[in-house]
Amino acid sequence: MTSKTTGPIPPDNVTPQQRAMPRVNKVTAGDITSSLKAGFSDFLARPLMSVFFGLFYAAFGILFVWCLVWLGKIWMIIPAAVGFPLVAPFAAAGLYEMSRRLQKGENFGWSEILSVMANQHKREMGWMAFVTLFIFWVWIYQVRLWLAIILKDASFSDFDGFLNTLFFTPQGWTFLAIGTCVGAFLSLALFSLTVVSMPMLLDQETDFVSAMLTSIHVVTENPAVMLTWAAIISVTMLLSLVPAFLGLVFTLPILGHTTWHLYQRAVTHADG
């Protein structure tokens, strides 16, 4: 007795077709300027919603530092504040979605944006969050390691004492030099992995490895322009920390919206 089947039977050696990798475009300094203008326009289009995401991020930073003071971890305040912007790309997911909808001329409210953010756990944004937080953890751990090696005899009873040791002793200068070099390396690594991968994961049904590879490709194809953008982000974010993290209320939304538009200029997907 023979069985009947419908449709063609694929050969055993055929594998499912994989999604084509996106094309990486050449970007210029003019693209950064245009993206900044578009990002600022998005901010002005929905200022209250944009400020909400910046305020949430700033409030979390303030709470984080307060917990360190309460726990007596004085030595962690500066490295935590410096490393805190490393998690900004993940915090900006809602801003990317806002810019995506504004770009398409779609109407939206709080429920649409927050629901998209909540649904990211079904995709691969969580893996990128893990990568981001892992690099932040490495940053904090290596600071603790160098403190133990270089400043092992120093005592920090308060924040002023820590600053005095850091800025007015040879050991403190050595610690700052090493920390700056390691921090620059980790920041560059994370920037290369996330500069377009975060908005790409929100925009496309793709895996986080492909998104990271595309992000690295964007940086390697446009090193001067992307390093300029990295410098703009770093300086802006660090200056925003000075007034008790409150500068982030405005700078994070503008940078988040801008990143979306720069991603749109840097990456072209096969489906258009």
Least Cα distance to 200 among 17, 16, 21 occurs for 21
Record the tokens describing residue 270, joined without a space: 């096969």
Tens digit of each residue's pLDDT (9 = 90 or more) over 81-136: 777 776 777 678 889 999 999 999 988 888 888 887 777 666 677 788 788 888 88
Residue 115: count of CB within 10 angstroms of its CB: 10
Asked whether 266 and 34 are in contact (CB, 8 A), the reply is no
Contact 130, 138 (CB under 8 A): no
pLDDT digits (tens, 9 = 90+) for 174-208: 988 888 888 889 889 989 998 999 899 888 888 88
pLDDT at residue number 155: 60
Mean of pLDDT values over 143-169 = 76
User: Rounded distance, CA 132 to CA 193, Å?
Assistant: 9
First to last CA, the chain: 50
pLDDT (0 to 100) of residue 1: 45
Q: Which residues pair with 23 in a beta bridge?
A: 268
Distance (Å, whole) CA 177 – CA 208: 33
CA–CA separation, 248 and 151 (whole Å):
32
The residue type found at 180 is T
CB 132 within 8 A of CB 105: no
Q: Are strands 23-24 and 267-268 parallel, antiparallel or unpaired?
A: antiparallel
3-state DSSP call for residue 23? strand
Say if residues 247 and 239 touch (Cβ distance below 8 Å): yes
pTM of the predicted structure, to 2 decimals: 0.81
Q: What residue ranges do the domains of the chain occupy?
A: 24-268
Per-residue pLDDT at 11 exceeds 60: no
Least confident residue range of 9-13, 32-36, 97-101, 255-259: 9-13
Q: Is the dihedral of CA 17, 18, 19, 21 positive or negative?
A: negative
**Residue bearing tokens 């300029």:** 228
Q: Which helix (H) or strand (E) element contains residue 199? A: helix 197-203
pLDDT tens digit string along 29-87? Answer: 999 999 999 999 999 999 999 999 889 888 888 888 888 878 777 777 777 777 777 67
Q: What is the pLDDT of residue 14?
A: 40
User: pLDDT, tens digit, for every residue of 213-226?
Assistant: 999 999 999 999 99
Instruction: Give residue 154's pLDDT.
Output: 62
Listed residue (120, 255, 139, 125) closest to 197, CA to CA? 125
Average pLDDT, the chain: 83
Q: How far apart are CA 92 and CA 98, in angstroms?
A: 10
